[in-house]
């Protein structure tokens, strides 16, 4: 079988992640499994373009990686007794149910709460995403040496803390799954806010992996829907002058209709599988769907948006949710109605977007001096870059 270069690379990468998950279970070492799989991937990239892709790529990679691991273990005499017995347990072509369980074990290990959030992000990109250390460093804007140390410490922590390679028990699953989703969403936001497409792509890929492994889990479906609905607007988020483009100013004809349709369908699937209160990711995705389905900004169903914010506040009460709800009320009922709601959220005095929202509303109400004062506070509390420049332009109009 012959495959184009990019398709071949994706095939090897996807299958490599599955092989890694199985090999970690068999040999009990993330480091050794990664090295063995990397060696198998290099061999595949060398031989498959010349000889053709084998009928069972995953089995080929697993056999090659396992041989590499055996060679290493034989050179490490002190480990032979334990590891040599384990190696024959690796099936050359595990059934789908075993591969699924292995992948879930790997996901929950990479996102274990014993690891720092930074470590979870780096390890997920490296181990689940199949990125090289250099690619992880570039994506997170870290020196490569820093990324390497972070990955090494994470894998050492897994070993020294005795983090089990297993899927959490039923009573642990909701909290642990929430942690996994938060890690993937953080990766997405790192890329989305900084216009780093590779990180956005990785987050979507990881969310798709989770959805394939847990197709009936509302948290996972909501997460994937949210990422797709945001990603559908990727090419319109920056204006021609390089500043952020407001939702009202984006060219909706350029939005990705395929991603929007998929995201909306996923929201429906997630809601149908929600027994009681919906997961916050599902609610946020429903809000994103309201925006994505509106043919124009003026035709946005603000009643629905506000209602979904009410739901979001019940499942994740936060003054930031109240701020976003007030911003939606400003679009439906006007700035004069929304400003008192925003002013009441004084707990957000250190939050730059509170001041930015006040600046926008005061500007709409024709209070330029107060608007500029709010803008200065927004910048003083951390609003910067293109968002600050855009707000300065608007307030100065």
Residue 279 backbone phi and psi in degrees, to 5: -65, 145
* Nearest one of 124, 127, 104, 228 to 176, comparing CA atoms: 104
Distance separating alpha carbons of residues 157 and 249, to the nearest angstrom: 47
pLDDT tens, the chain, 397 aa long: 455 567 788 788 888 888 999 999 888 888 888 899 989 999 998 999 888 889 899 899 999 999 898 888 888 755 555 545 545 445 566 778 888 888 899 999 999 999 998 999 999 988 888 888 888 888 887 899 999 999 999 999 988 888 888 888 888 888 899 999 999 998 998 888 776 788 899 999 999 999 999 999 999 999 999 999 999 999 999 898 889 999 999 999 999 999 999 999 999 999 999 878 899 999 999 999 999 999 999 999 999 999 999 999 999 999 999 999 999 999 999 999 999 999 999 999 999 999 999 999 999 999 999 999 999 999 999 998 899 999 999 887 5
Q: pTM for the complete prediction? A: 0.86
Distance separating alpha carbons of residues 141 and 193, to the nearest angstrom: 13
Distance separating alpha carbons of residues 53 and 11, to the nearest angstrom: 10
Beta bridge partners of 244: 238
**For residue range 14-38, what is the model confidence (pLDDT) as tens digits?**
888 889 999 998 888 888 888 999 8
Residue 99 near residue 18, CB atoms below 8 Å: yes
Distance separating alpha carbons of residues 267 and 276, to the nearest angstrom: 15
**For residue range 50-96, what is the model confidence (pLDDT) as tens digits?**
888 898 998 999 999 998 988 888 887 555 555 455 454 455 667 78
* Nearest one of 216, 215, 249 to 390, comparing CA atoms: 249
Distance separating alpha carbons of residues 201 and 196, to the nearest angstrom: 9
Percent with pLDDT over 70 in the chain: 94
């Amino acid at each position: 079988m012959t495959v184009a270069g990019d398709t071949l690379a994706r095939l090897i990468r996807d299958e490599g992640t599955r092989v890694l998950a199985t090999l970690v279970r068999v040999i009990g070492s993330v480091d050794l499994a990664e090295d063995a799989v990397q060696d198998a991937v290099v061999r595949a990239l060398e031989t498959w373009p010349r000889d053709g892709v084998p009928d069972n790529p995953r089995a080929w990679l697993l056999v090659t990686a396992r041989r590499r691991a055996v060679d290493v273990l034989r050179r490490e005499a002190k480990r032979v007794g334990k590891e040599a017995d384990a190696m024959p347990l690796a099936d050359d072509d595990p059934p789908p149910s075993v591969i699924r369980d292995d992948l879930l074990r790997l996901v929950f290990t990479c996102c274990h709460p014993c690891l720092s959030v930074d470590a979870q992000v780096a390890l997920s990109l490296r181990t689940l995403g199949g990125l090289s250390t250099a690619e992880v460093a570039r994506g997170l804007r870290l020196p490569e040496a820093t990324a390497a140390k972070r990955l090494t410490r994470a894998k050492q922590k897994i070993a020294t803390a005795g983090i089990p390679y297993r899927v959490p028990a039923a009573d642990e699953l909701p909290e642990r799954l929430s942690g996994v989703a938060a890690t993937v969403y953080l990766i997405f936001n790192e890329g989305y806010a900084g216009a780093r497409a590779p990180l956005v792509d990785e987050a979507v890929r990881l969310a798709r992996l989770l959805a394939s492994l847990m197709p009936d889990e509302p948290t996972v479906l909501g997460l994937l829907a949210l990422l797709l609905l945001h990603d559908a607007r990727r090419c319109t988020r920056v204006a021609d002058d390089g500043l952020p483009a407001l939702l009202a100013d984006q060219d909706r004809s350029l939005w990705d209709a395929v991603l929007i349709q998929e995201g909306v369908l996923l929201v429906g699937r997630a809601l149908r599988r929600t027994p009681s209160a919906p997961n916050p990711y599902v609610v946020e995705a429903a809000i994103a769907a309201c925006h994505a389905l509106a043919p124009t900004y003026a035709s946005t169903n603000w009643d629905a948006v506000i209602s979904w914010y009410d739901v979001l506040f019940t499942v994740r009460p936060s003054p930031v949710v109240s701020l976003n709800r007030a911003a939606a009320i400003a679009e439906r009922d006007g700035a004069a109605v929304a400003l008192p709601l925003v002013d009441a959220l004084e707990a957000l005095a250190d939050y730059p977007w509170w001041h930015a929202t006040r600046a926008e509303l005061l500007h709409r109400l024709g209070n330029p001096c107060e608007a500029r004062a709010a803008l200065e506070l927004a910048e003083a509390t951390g609003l910067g870059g293109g968002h600050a420049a855009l707000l300065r332009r608007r307030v100065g109009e």
